Amino acid sequence: MSAVMSGVMTSTVYVQLLDLACGALLATAVVIVWRRRLAAIIRTFAVQGAALAALAGVLAVHARDVRLGVIAAGVLALRAVVFPWLLGRALAASGPAPGERETRPLVNVTASLLAVAVLTLIAYAVSRPLTALAPSPAADAIPVGIAVTLAGFFVLVTRRRAVSQLAGFLLMDNGITATGLLTTASAGLLTEAGVSLDVLLAAVVLRALAGRMRDAFGDTDLDDLRELRD
Amino acid sequence: MTRLGIAGGIIQVVVITGGAPLLAGVMRQVRARLEGRAGPGIGQPWRDLRKLLRKEPVTPAGTSELFRIAPLVLLATTVTVAGVAPFVTDTSAVGPAADLFAVAALLAMGTATLALAAIDTGTAFGGMGASREMTIMALAEPTLLVAVFALSVRAGSTSLAAVVTATLRDPARVLSPAGLLAAAALALVTVAETGRLPVDNPATHLELTMVHEAMILEYAGPDLALVELASSMRLAVFLGVLATLFTPWGIATTAAPLALAAGTAAFAAKVGLLGAALAAGEVFMAKLRLFRVPELLAGSFLLALLAVTASYFLAV
């Protein structure tokens, strides 16, 4: 069995592919914080979904686990195709208004990028006990998952538009999924499917909500909405 | 000082001094062809330099000695880096000067001297260009250092020669996340430091946007020739550092004539390809607003920082 496994994927190649997938996750998270144009953010988001699926795929081939393979396929379908499509629909529905096509962050982009740098270092610091529990190449990459989660949360709280907040929410979820895959390679298929469906439902609801908000108020700037209520 | 290092140093200085204007010519030609123009040919920068060198030296009234020595300092620092960095051979003629800090400091010294000379002229454009150049350099310099740190962490030394040797021994490192993130960060720094699009447009003299051109506006004749030569050499040096750190293959490891010839050819091919790719990319790019440049450089700094962090927690 082990001979077959080493034939399928030597451990150096496994570690390298795993690290490449994690590096791609991190880099795409940075690009999502960096870019202003929502269309570019959505494209990057699709790339990140593919990187996450590749991560799951590498783990699946390494562990020779069919269920993980199914999860990888599910992640690819949901995060690289369905979510970007939903976000794209939400963006297209917002019409040709130029203001809606770019994010208007509360914190300027330069400060956001530096904040993400600090968040990455924090992620590295706080995940050391987790990594020390069972040192393995996958466990070593846990900081990447936590860093993406924190970056997603940062995007969620510092953006004004509903669509960019939705992107932040999905970025955070990508991070949580990556952390889950890296910590417990043998997570139940049912759990993963349940979580994914939950997120899908949340995305659909948020997307519908954003559409309703625009129909009612003509804008999805959440700060303006609070002013309307006062 | 080894024979290999000295041979490499001499070849590098000759190749970069002679080839840098040709590199500029290739880049302009690529750009011209992609824009549907015939282009002046790759020898044009050398013809321009010959024309400028034949003119009589003229300096603006009221400028000090600083204005006159700045082109020499710029050229001297660039030639030094061209001689000591491991481009053609993997050992350096002057080991300590091939250190990351020494190379970054030498390149920064040239730019800073030119900025001082621009202020020395007392014109509005000179001061404006100097202030912009210093802003960009202050933001790009940390990224340059941190990006190369990511590579030197695993080599265990900040010497560029040691980094190159370590990469040659273990080529898989280049494809690690740390290597790729550092390459992206360093590419952005190269664009910013050499004043290419989208940070600065080398082909325009528009007062609202120019950075490097505003600084050298008062230079004429042989002084301008020196500044132009040094600028194109700077571009060749930056592209050379980028190429050598991330694709060191072909570099000469022995002092045999054949190895040196192969190293020179590999270096020329790598830098030429990178330059052509940069010029082709520039066709599709517009200049960034000056206020957006810090965003670009903060992004590249973050990529460099992630490269260093990744080299710790994703230890391949």
Contact indicator for B21, B232 with CB cutoff of 8 Å = yes
Report which of residues B98 and A114 the model is more confident about.
A114
CA angle at A165 for the pair A226 and A121, rounded to the nearest 5°: 120
User: b or e along A61-86 (b: 16 or more beta carbons within 10 Å of the residue's beta carbon)?
Assistant: bbeebeebbebbebbbebbbebbbeb
Instruction: Tell which residue, B253, B211, B52, has the closest CA to residue B126.
Output: B211
Report which of residues A136 and B224 the model is more confident about.
B224
- Inspect the interface and report whether the beta carbons of B177 and A143 lie closer than 8 Å: no
Instruction: Tell which residue, A136, A117, A128, has the closest CA to residue B315.
Output: A136
Query: How crowded is the C-beta side of B314, counted as CA atoms within 13 Å?
Result: 34
Mutate to test the interface with A, among B306, B311, B312 (most CBs of A within 10 A): B306
Tokens 């909500």 -> residue:
A209
The residue-averaged pLDDT of B252-263 equals: 86
Residue A6 pLDDT: 46
pLDDT band at B286 (very low <50, low <70, confident <90, very high): confident
Say how far apart CA B55 and CA B44 lie, in whole Å.
Answer: 17
Phi, psi of B159 (to 5 degrees): -70, 130
Q: Long-range contacts for B272-277 (Cβ within 8 Å, ≥24 apart)?
A: B272/B23, B272/B26, B274/B239, B274/B242, B274/B243, B275/B23, B275/B26, B275/B27, B275/B235, B275/B236, B275/B239, B276/B26, B276/B27, B276/B30
Chain A closest-CA separation from residue B147 CA (Å): 14
Neighbours of A197 (CB within 10 A): 12
- Inspect the interface and report whether the beta carbons of B298 and A121 lie closer than 8 Å: no
Q: How far apart are the first and last CA of chain B?
A: 34
Mutate to test the interface with B, among A19, A119, A150 (most CBs of B within 10 A): A19
The residue-averaged pLDDT of B221-233 equals: 93
The residue-averaged pLDDT of B263-290 equals: 90
Say how far apart CA A195 and CA A199 lie, in whole Å.
Answer: 6
Residue A224 pLDDT: 62
Contact indicator for A126, B315 with CB cutoff of 8 Å = no
Supply A76's token pair: 């690819």
pLDDT band at B24 (very low <50, low <70, confident <90, very high): very high
Supply B36's token pair: 């549907």
- Inspect the interface and report whether the beta carbons of A26 and B306 lie closer than 8 Å: yes
- According to DSSP, the residues that pair with B252 across neighbouring strands are B89
- Inspect the interface and report whether the beta carbons of B313 and A16 lie closer than 8 Å: no
| B294 cis-preceded (ω within 30 degrees of 0) | no
Contact indicator for B150, B178 with CB cutoff of 8 Å = yes
In sequence order, what DSSP letters do the residues of B141-199 get, joined into one string? HHHHHHHHHHHHHHHTS-BHHHHHHHHHH-GGGGGSHHHHHHHHHHHHHHHHHTT-TTT
Interface pTM (ipTM) of the complex? 0.76
The residue-averaged pLDDT of B84-111 equals: 85
In this predicted structure, the answer to whether residue B25 has a pLDDT above a threshold of 90 is yes
Tens digit of pLDDT at every position of chain A (230 positions)? 344 444 455 778 888 888 888 889 988 998 888 888 888 888 998 999 999 999 888 888 888 878 788 888 888 888 888 888 888 887 777 665 555 566 677 888 888 888 999 998 899 888 888 888 877 888 888 888 999 999 999 998 888 777 788 888 889 988 988 888 888 755 566 677 777 777 777 777 777 777 777 666 666 666 666 655 55
Contact indicator for B159, B99 with CB cutoff of 8 Å = yes
Tokens 């700037």 -> residue:
A221
pTM: 0.85
The residue-averaged pLDDT of B96-118 equals: 89
Residue B257 pLDDT: 85
Chain B closest-CA separation from residue A24 CA (Å): 8
Instruction: Tell which residue, B175, B297, B186, has the closest CA to residue B240.
Output: B186
Chain A closest-CA separation from residue B203 CA (Å): 27
- Inspect the interface and report whether the beta carbons of A20 and B177 lie closer than 8 Å: yes
In this predicted structure, the answer to whether residue B313 has a pLDDT above a threshold of 90 is no
Query: How crowded is the C-beta side of B64, counted as CA atoms within 13 Å?
Result: 8
Radius of gyration of chain B from its Cα atoms, rounded to whole angstroms? 19
Residue of B nearest to A33 (CA): B299
Instruction: Tell which residue, A26, A61, A68, A62, has the closest CA to residue A47.
Output: A26
Residue A149 pLDDT: 93
Contact indicator for B159, B253 with CB cutoff of 8 Å = no
pLDDT band at B106 (very low <50, low <70, confident <90, very high): very high
The residue-averaged pLDDT of B155-175 equals: 84
Residue of B nearest to A36 (CA): B295
Phi, psi of B18 (to 5 degrees): -75, -35
Residue of B nearest to A23 (CA): B177
Lowest-confidence pick of A9-18, A72-81, B178-187, B215-224: A9-18
* Domain residue spans of chain A: 2-229
Grouping H, G, I as helix, E, B as strand and the rest as coil, residue B191 is helix
- Residue B261 Cα to chain centre, angstroms: 23
